[in-house]
Amino acid sequence: GAVVSQHPSRVICKSGTSVKIECRSLDFQATTMFWYRQFPKQSLMLMATSNEGSKATYEQGVEKDKFLINHASLTLSTLTVTSAHPEDSSFYICSASSRGGTEAFFGQGTRLTVV
Amino acid sequence: SQQGEEDPQALSIQEGENATMNCSYKTSINNLQWYRQNSGRGLVHLILIRSNEREKHSGRLRVTLDTSKKSSSLLITASRAADTASYFCATEGTGGFKTIFGAGTRLFVKA
């Protein structure tokens, strides 16, 4: 299957700072990328959908000003958690699909801990 | 809720036994996928079944799909301790590639 790389795999930051997570499609052009959040012992919750070159579409209840998503190229999308707080500590996973593709491929996730 | 429902939420079995997990969803789908996740790590894609398929096999895995009941099941035969993980179903709706995950089943296989 196609490869999606997510970086960093783990990050610890201080409360109030911002953290950027990258999601790259290594061997295909990702016209659409998705960002998910997973709290301990819970399922993955879709946060937003981003299409290359346009604004992301956020799911209900997700603050777009807090979770900034940029999908400036066909191989890279970034999620920036702004002014992070301990309650933002979570596992964040991206997935990517190509135009005309029938599957989305997942990155390995980023564990964010805000102290 | 955007999530589908999975049952059981947790399942504990002995090595060698079969494990069956069920998933129900709410909307029309293009496909349904099953994933495994070990201890909060990344997802491992197990199998994809399309809406026009009813059953699919991959090694010790057997997946069924009943679109009339909007449900799917994952059967793991001859389970091993290494199968201990959380299992999620995920559906891709007909409106796009948005993949929505079920609540998951935590499987514990005792050696």
Query: Using only C-alpha atoms, what is the Rg of chain B?
Result: 13
From A9's Cα to the closest Cα of chain B, the distance in A is 10
Which positions ≥6 away from B95 have C-beta within 8 Å?
none
Question: What are the backbone angles phi and psi of residue B33, rounded to the nearest 5°?
Answer: -125, 150
Mutate to test the interface with A, among B97, B100, B105, B106 (most CBs of A within 10 A): B97
Residue A59 is given by DSSP the state: P
From B4's Cα to the closest Cα of chain A, the distance in A is 10
**Each residue of B44-81: pLDDT tens digit?**
889 999 999 999 999 999 999 999 999 999 999 999 99
Question: What tokens were used for B74?
Answer: 């994952």
**Each residue of A30-53: pLDDT tens digit?**
888 999 999 888 889 999 999 888
Dist. CA B35–CA B28, nearest whole Å: 20
> Of A25 and A53, which is predicted with more confidence?
A25
CA closest to B102 among chain A residues: A43
Sequence length of chain A is 115
**Each residue of A44-84: pLDDT tens digit?**
999 999 988 888 999 999 999 999 999 888 899 999 999 99
Q: What is the pLDDT of residue B21?
A: 96
Does any CB of chain A come closer than 8 Å to the CB of residue B104? yes
Identify the residue whose tokens are 């699919």: B56
Cβ-based contacts of B98 with chain A (< 8 Å): 34, 46, 49
Cβ-based contacts of A111 with chain B (< 8 Å): 40
CA closest to B106 among chain A residues: A41
Q: Is A87 exposed, middle or buried (0-12, 13-18, 19+ CB in 10 A)?
A: exposed
Question: What are the backbone angles phi and psi of residue B87, rounded to the nearest 5°?
Answer: -120, 130
Which positions ≥6 away from A61 have C-beta within 8 Å?
none
Q: Hey, how many other C-beta atoms are within 10 angstroms of the C-beta on A107?
A: 27
Statement: residue B15 has pLDDT above 90: yes
Question: What are the backbone angles phi and psi of residue A88, rounded to the nearest 5°?
Answer: -85, -10
Does any CB of chain A come closer than 8 Å to the CB of residue B97? yes
Question: What tokens were used for B98?
Answer: 């948005």
A93 pLDDT band, cuts 50/70/90, is: very high
Statement: residue A22 has pLDDT above 80: yes
B93 pLDDT band, cuts 50/70/90, is: confident
For chain A positions 30-69, those within 8 Å of chain B (CB to CB) are: 32, 34, 36, 38, 40-46, 49, 59
